[in-house]
Amino acid sequence: TSPDDDVAFYQAGGMILALWSRRQLAEDSVVEDNGGWGGVTLAHNVRSAGEVDQVLAEAEAAGGTIARRGAKTFWGGYSGVFVDPDGHPWEVAHNPGWTLHEDGTTSLGT
């Protein structure tokens, strides 16, 4: 994150809860904050940039809409966003600074 980001990360068991300002989350999730969006984006962390692209392709094939193709991020990772058929945005991300365990749980730090 950058110094002017309003984001906090909390370890919650094998998951990570990230709290962003609504404006920044809307920008990052590529959604319009026009009152119809609930202010929540789910994120799925994977082990590599290639896996981000694979999951985005699978989501698109299953009826999702790509809102942001996979790309390098300012925080050193790689992520993209799709919107599922019900209108919920999902970020698919690879964060080299986090540990993704074999059982799928995630930990802050490596």
pTM, two decimals, is: 0.74
Q: How far apart are CA 60 and CA 82, in angstroms?
A: 8
What are the helix (H) ranges across the chain? 22-29, 49-61
Q: What is the pLDDT of residues 45-99, one digit of tens each?
A: 999 999 999 999 999 999 999 999 999 999 899 999 999 988 888 999 999 998 8
Q: What domains does the chain contain, in order, with CATH numbers?
A: 7-108 (3.10.180.10)
Spatial CA neighbour of 42 closest among 75, 71, 8, 18: 18
Read off the DSSP letter of residue 30. T
